[in-house]
Amino acid sequence: MATLINIETSTEICSVALSSDGKVIWHKENYEGMSHSVLLAKFIEEMMAFVKEAGVKIDGVAVSCGPGSYTGLRIGVSTAKGLCYGLNVPLISVNTLEVMTNHVLKSQEVGEKVWLCPMIDARRMEVYTAFYDKTLSQKRETSADIIDENSYLDIQNEVLFFGNGAAKCKTALHRGNFTFVENVVPLAIDMVELSHAAYDQKKFQDVAYFEPFYLKEFVATVAKNKVFGN
Protein backbone atom coordinates (compact mmCIF):
# COMPACT_ATOMS: atom_id res chain seq x y z
CA MET A 1 0.00 0.00 0.00
CA ALA A 2 1.93 3.00 -1.31
CA THR A 3 1.66 6.50 0.12
CA LEU A 4 2.46 9.29 -2.34
CA ILE A 5 2.87 13.07 -2.24
CA ASN A 6 1.14 14.74 -5.20
CA ILE A 7 2.15 18.28 -6.26
CA GLU A 8 0.30 20.46 -8.79
CA THR A 9 1.57 23.98 -9.65
CA SER A 10 1.13 24.19 -13.43
CA THR A 11 -1.35 27.10 -13.38
CA GLU A 12 -2.27 29.90 -10.97
CA ILE A 13 -3.61 27.30 -8.53
CA CYS A 14 -1.25 25.67 -6.04
CA SER A 15 -2.24 22.31 -4.57
CA VAL A 16 -0.78 19.35 -2.69
CA ALA A 17 -2.38 16.01 -1.86
CA LEU A 18 -1.22 13.03 0.17
CA SER A 19 -2.64 9.73 -1.02
CA SER A 20 -2.54 6.19 0.29
CA ASP A 21 -3.55 3.16 -1.76
CA GLY A 22 -5.08 5.47 -4.37
CA LYS A 23 -7.19 7.50 -1.93
CA VAL A 24 -6.66 11.07 -0.72
CA ILE A 25 -5.87 11.27 3.00
CA TRP A 26 -4.78 14.94 3.14
CA HIS A 27 -4.94 17.84 0.70
CA LYS A 28 -4.72 21.60 0.45
CA GLU A 29 -5.34 24.08 -2.37
CA ASN A 30 -5.05 27.81 -2.96
CA TYR A 31 -6.96 29.43 -5.82
CA GLU A 32 -5.81 33.02 -5.28
CA GLY A 33 -2.79 33.01 -7.58
CA MET A 34 -0.32 33.82 -4.82
CA SER A 35 3.38 32.98 -4.94
CA HIS A 36 3.72 29.25 -5.50
CA SER A 37 7.19 29.21 -3.98
CA VAL A 38 5.83 30.48 -0.65
CA LEU A 39 2.57 28.53 -0.68
CA LEU A 40 4.07 25.23 -1.73
CA ALA A 41 6.68 25.32 1.02
CA LYS A 42 3.91 26.08 3.55
CA PHE A 43 1.68 23.28 2.27
CA ILE A 44 4.54 20.77 2.34
CA GLU A 45 5.40 21.77 5.92
CA GLU A 46 1.78 21.28 7.01
CA MET A 47 1.55 17.96 5.19
CA MET A 48 4.77 16.65 6.73
CA ALA A 49 3.44 17.54 10.18
CA PHE A 50 0.39 15.39 9.38
CA VAL A 51 2.67 12.59 8.11
CA LYS A 52 4.67 12.64 11.34
CA GLU A 53 1.59 12.66 13.56
CA ALA A 54 -0.08 9.86 11.59
CA GLY A 55 3.08 7.78 11.43
CA VAL A 56 2.89 7.53 7.65
CA LYS A 57 5.81 6.39 5.50
CA ILE A 58 6.20 8.19 2.16
CA ASP A 59 6.89 5.89 -0.79
CA GLY A 60 7.13 8.37 -3.65
CA VAL A 61 6.56 11.90 -4.92
CA ALA A 62 4.42 12.71 -7.96
CA VAL A 63 4.48 16.05 -9.74
CA SER A 64 2.28 17.49 -12.46
CA CYS A 65 4.87 17.94 -15.20
CA GLY A 66 3.09 20.21 -17.68
CA PRO A 67 2.38 21.74 -20.02
CA GLY A 68 1.59 24.96 -18.18
CA SER A 69 3.21 27.96 -16.55
CA TYR A 70 7.00 27.94 -16.91
CA THR A 71 7.54 29.34 -13.42
CA GLY A 72 4.88 27.19 -11.78
CA LEU A 73 6.21 23.99 -13.32
CA ARG A 74 9.78 24.84 -12.38
CA ILE A 75 8.79 25.43 -8.74
CA GLY A 76 6.74 22.23 -8.55
CA VAL A 77 9.39 20.02 -10.12
CA SER A 78 12.27 21.46 -8.08
CA THR A 79 10.26 20.95 -4.88
CA ALA A 80 9.40 17.38 -5.86
CA LYS A 81 13.04 16.62 -6.61
CA GLY A 82 14.11 18.01 -3.25
CA LEU A 83 11.59 15.80 -1.48
CA CYS A 84 12.75 12.75 -3.42
CA TYR A 85 16.36 13.36 -2.43
CA GLY A 86 15.46 14.06 1.20
CA LEU A 87 13.12 11.09 1.58
CA ASN A 88 15.08 8.77 -0.74
CA VAL A 89 11.98 7.89 -2.75
CA PRO A 90 11.24 7.75 -6.50
CA LEU A 91 9.91 10.60 -8.65
CA ILE A 92 6.73 10.20 -10.70
CA SER A 93 5.58 12.61 -13.41
CA VAL A 94 1.94 13.07 -14.42
CA ASN A 95 0.84 14.99 -17.52
CA THR A 96 -1.18 18.06 -16.51
CA LEU A 97 -3.70 17.65 -19.32
CA GLU A 98 -4.35 14.08 -18.19
CA VAL A 99 -4.95 15.34 -14.64
CA MET A 100 -7.70 17.65 -15.93
CA THR A 101 -9.18 14.91 -18.10
CA ASN A 102 -9.21 12.53 -15.15
CA HIS A 103 -11.30 15.06 -13.21
CA VAL A 104 -13.94 15.19 -15.96
CA LEU A 105 -14.02 11.41 -16.28
CA LYS A 106 -14.64 11.11 -12.54
CA SER A 107 -17.27 13.84 -12.38
CA GLN A 108 -19.59 13.01 -15.27
CA GLU A 109 -20.72 10.32 -17.67
CA VAL A 110 -18.78 10.28 -20.93
CA GLY A 111 -19.98 8.40 -24.00
CA GLU A 112 -17.91 5.79 -25.82
CA LYS A 113 -17.22 7.98 -28.85
CA VAL A 114 -16.77 11.26 -27.00
CA TRP A 115 -13.37 12.93 -27.08
CA LEU A 116 -12.11 15.05 -24.21
CA CYS A 117 -10.06 18.17 -24.85
CA PRO A 118 -8.36 19.89 -21.89
CA MET A 119 -7.07 23.39 -22.64
CA ILE A 120 -4.53 25.41 -20.67
CA ASP A 121 -4.32 29.12 -21.44
CA ALA A 122 -1.10 30.04 -23.26
CA ARG A 123 -2.04 33.74 -23.77
CA ARG A 124 -3.99 35.42 -26.55
CA MET A 125 -5.82 32.73 -28.56
CA GLU A 126 -3.21 30.04 -27.98
CA VAL A 127 -3.78 27.00 -25.78
CA TYR A 128 -1.85 23.93 -24.68
CA THR A 129 -4.08 21.02 -25.52
CA ALA A 130 -4.52 17.38 -26.49
CA PHE A 131 -7.42 15.04 -27.24
CA TYR A 132 -8.28 11.89 -25.27
CA ASP A 133 -10.98 9.25 -25.28
CA LYS A 134 -12.73 7.99 -22.14
CA THR A 135 -9.93 5.47 -21.47
CA LEU A 136 -7.39 8.34 -21.36
CA SER A 137 -5.90 7.08 -24.61
CA GLN A 138 -4.50 10.06 -26.50
CA LYS A 139 -6.22 10.70 -29.85
CA ARG A 140 -4.06 13.71 -30.79
CA GLU A 141 -0.67 14.59 -29.44
CA THR A 142 -0.11 17.47 -27.03
CA SER A 143 0.39 20.73 -28.91
CA ALA A 144 0.27 24.51 -28.64
CA ASP A 145 -2.67 25.52 -30.86
CA ILE A 146 -3.78 28.97 -31.96
CA ILE A 147 -7.57 28.75 -32.01
CA ASP A 148 -9.78 30.30 -34.69
CA GLU A 149 -13.03 29.41 -36.47
CA ASN A 150 -11.17 26.90 -38.67
CA SER A 151 -9.73 24.91 -35.78
CA TYR A 152 -10.67 21.21 -35.53
CA LEU A 153 -13.01 21.26 -38.54
CA ASP A 154 -11.95 17.69 -39.28
CA ILE A 155 -13.24 16.35 -35.96
CA GLN A 156 -16.66 14.73 -36.26
CA ASN A 157 -16.78 13.26 -32.74
CA GLU A 158 -18.61 14.91 -29.90
CA VAL A 159 -15.95 16.80 -27.93
CA LEU A 160 -15.92 18.10 -24.35
CA PHE A 161 -13.68 21.16 -23.98
CA PHE A 162 -12.55 22.31 -20.53
CA GLY A 163 -9.83 24.16 -18.65
CA ASN A 164 -8.80 27.79 -18.24
CA GLY A 165 -8.00 28.00 -21.95
CA ALA A 166 -11.37 26.75 -23.14
CA ALA A 167 -13.55 29.73 -22.18
CA LYS A 168 -11.88 32.10 -24.65
CA CYS A 169 -12.41 29.54 -27.44
CA LYS A 170 -16.20 29.28 -27.09
CA THR A 171 -17.05 31.76 -29.84
CA ALA A 172 -14.58 30.35 -32.35
CA LEU A 173 -15.58 26.74 -31.63
CA HIS A 174 -19.34 27.25 -31.52
CA ARG A 175 -20.48 24.01 -33.19
CA GLY A 176 -23.16 21.43 -32.50
CA ASN A 177 -20.81 18.60 -31.58
CA PHE A 178 -18.69 20.72 -29.22
CA THR A 179 -19.61 21.18 -25.55
CA PHE A 180 -17.81 23.25 -22.91
CA VAL A 181 -17.47 22.07 -19.31
CA GLU A 182 -16.99 24.82 -16.73
CA ASN A 183 -14.72 25.05 -13.68
CA VAL A 184 -12.16 22.37 -14.52
CA VAL A 185 -8.67 23.12 -13.22
CA PRO A 186 -5.64 20.90 -12.57
CA LEU A 187 -5.58 19.84 -8.91
CA ALA A 188 -3.37 17.47 -6.93
CA ILE A 189 -6.40 15.45 -5.79
CA ASP A 190 -7.06 14.52 -9.43
CA MET A 191 -3.49 13.25 -9.87
CA VAL A 192 -3.95 10.42 -7.40
CA GLU A 193 -5.31 7.64 -9.64
CA LEU A 194 -2.65 8.44 -12.25
CA SER A 195 0.26 8.69 -9.85
CA HIS A 196 -0.57 5.40 -8.12
CA ALA A 197 -0.95 3.64 -11.47
CA ALA A 198 2.50 4.92 -12.46
CA TYR A 199 3.95 3.85 -9.10
CA ASP A 200 2.51 0.34 -9.42
CA GLN A 201 4.05 0.08 -12.90
CA LYS A 202 7.36 1.50 -11.61
CA LYS A 203 7.27 4.36 -14.12
CA PHE A 204 9.84 6.46 -12.29
CA GLN A 205 11.83 9.46 -13.51
CA ASP A 206 15.53 10.17 -13.14
CA VAL A 207 15.54 12.69 -10.29
CA ALA A 208 18.82 14.26 -11.39
CA TYR A 209 17.88 14.90 -15.02
CA PHE A 210 14.09 15.18 -15.14
CA GLU A 211 12.70 18.43 -16.58
CA PRO A 212 9.10 19.70 -16.83
CA PHE A 213 7.20 19.42 -20.11
CA TYR A 214 7.27 23.11 -21.01
CA LEU A 215 6.08 22.46 -24.61
CA LYS A 216 7.32 25.92 -25.63
CA GLU A 217 10.52 27.77 -24.88
CA PHE A 218 10.26 30.37 -22.13
CA VAL A 219 10.16 33.91 -23.55
CA ALA A 220 11.01 36.71 -21.15
CA THR A 221 9.13 39.97 -21.59
CA VAL A 222 10.17 43.47 -20.62
CA ALA A 223 7.64 45.94 -19.26
CA LYS A 224 6.88 48.80 -21.66
CA ASN A 225 7.72 51.41 -19.05
CA LYS A 226 11.11 49.87 -18.33
CA VAL A 227 13.82 52.54 -18.30
CA PHE A 228 17.30 51.42 -19.24
CA GLY A 229 20.31 53.17 -17.84
CA ASN A 230 23.56 53.83 -19.63
Measured over the CA atoms of residue 43, residue 45, residue 51 and residue 53, the dihedral's sign is negative
Q: Do 52 and 112 fall within a single domain? A: no
Same domain, 49 and 124: no
Q: What is the pLDDT of residue 220?
A: 43
Asked whether residue 14 carries a pLDDT value surpassing 50, the answer given is: yes
What is the average pLDDT across 118-141? 96
Contact 90, 84 (CB under 8 A): yes
Claim to verify: residue 8 and residue 90 sit in the same structural domain: yes
Residue 8 falls inside a structural domain: yes
How far does Cα 24 stand from its chain's mean position?
17
Structural domain of residue 172, as residue ranges?
A: 97-181
**Residue with more model confidence, 174 or 16:** 16
Residues 196 and 174 in one domain: no
Of the chain, the percentage scoring pLDDT greater than 90 comes to: 87
Do 127 and 149 have their domain in common?
A: yes
- 148 pLDDT exceeds 60? yes
According to the model, what pLDDT value does residue 119 have?
A: 98
Q: What is the CATH number of the domain that holds 191?
A: 3.30.420.40
Higher-scoring residue by pLDDT: 63, 1: 63
* 16: β partners: 7, 28
Residue 103 lies in a domain: yes
For residue range 53-80, list pLDDT tens digits in order: 999 999 999 999 999 999 999 999 999 9
Domain count, the chain: 2
Specify the pLDDT at position 33.
82
Question: Are 59 and 108 within one domain?
Answer: no
Supply the DSSP string of 208-220, one letter for each residue. TT-----SS----
Between CA 209 and CA 194 the distance in angstroms is: 22
In a domain, 222, yes or no: no
Q: Is residue 130 part of a domain?
A: yes
The answer to whether residue 222 scores a pLDDT higher than 80 is no
* Residue-level pLDDT at 227: 40
Angle between the 96-107 and 192-200 helix axes, to the nearest 10 degrees?
Answer: 120
Q: What is the mean pLDDT of the chain?
A: 93
Same domain, 29 and 75: yes
Question: What's the confidence (pLDDT) of residue 200?
Answer: 98
**Residue 7 sits in the same domain as residue 90:** yes
User: Considering only CA atoms, which of 157, 138, 145, 68 is closest in space to residue 98?
Assistant: 138
Residue 219 inside a domain? The answer is no
Residue 218 in domain: no
Does some domain include residue 221? no
70 and 112 both lie in a single domain: no
Q: Which of 44, 34, 27 is nearest to 71 (CA)?
A: 34
Q: Within this chain, do residues 15 and 76 fall inside the same structural domain, yes or no?
A: yes
210 located within any domain: no
Q: What angle in degrees, to the nearest 10, is found between the helix axes of 70-87 and 36-54? A: 30
Q: How do residues 25-54 score in pLDDT, each as one tens digit?
A: 999 999 988 789 999 999 999 999 999 999
Q: What per-residue string of b and e applies to 23-39 under the rule 16 or more CB within 10 Å gives b?
A: eeebbbbbeeeeebbeb
153 has pLDDT over 50: yes
Say whether pLDDT at 219 is over 80: no
Label residue 226 by pLDDT band (50, 70, 90).
very low
pLDDT exceeds cutoff 60 at 16: yes
Tell me, yes or no, whether 91 and 101 share the same domain: no
Tell me, yes or no, whether 14 and 87 share the same domain: yes
Confidence of residue 217 (pLDDT cuts 50, 70, 90): low
3-state secondary structure of 99: helix
